[in-house]
Amino acid sequence: MSIKEIQEEIIDEFAMFDDWMQRYEYMIELGKSLPLIDENYKVDENIIKGCQSKVWVYAEMIDNKINFTADSDAIITKGIIAILIRAFSNQHPKDIIDADTSFIDDIGLKEHLSPTRANGLVSMIKQLKMYAIAYQTQIN
């Protein structure tokens, strides 16, 4: 499935909910379903800078696709990173680099986050794309 198709799926899922309390609950559920990051990767160099909560992201290249795992010490933040990982994990680095992230605006996420969480969201996207850039240079 392409990143765009996954993003469309996420938009459709969020559209099913009537209000933001339901969407927050759904994000919390997504966070709970996030595959657990290996404890060995919960180290300082895997923490995303710019997030108020602690968010660890680990990336590895498998068959020219990046596989992300993550965790957070905050339930909403864990839901946010779960959405991003769902969209970008198991994708080719170039596709991640080129991916449009406007689906975040389409689901209304950014406008319903506190300014510090919104900054954290931007930092998460930036970090996932940085991993993709690093892995893309290894392919070229």
Alpha helix stretches (DSSP H) within the chain? 3-15, 20-32, 75-88, 93-98, 103-106, 115-139
**CA–CA separation, 129 vs 114, rounded Å?**
23
Length of the chain: 140
Q: What is the pTM of this model?
A: 0.94
Mind listing the pLDDT tens digit of every residue in the chain (140 residues)?
999 999 999 999 999 998 999 999 999 999 999 888 999 999 999 999 887 889 999 999 999 999 999 999 999 999 999 999 999 999 999 999 999 999 999 998 888 888 888 889 999 999 999 999 999 998 76
What are the tokens at 65? 């696709």
Just list the catalytic residues: 51
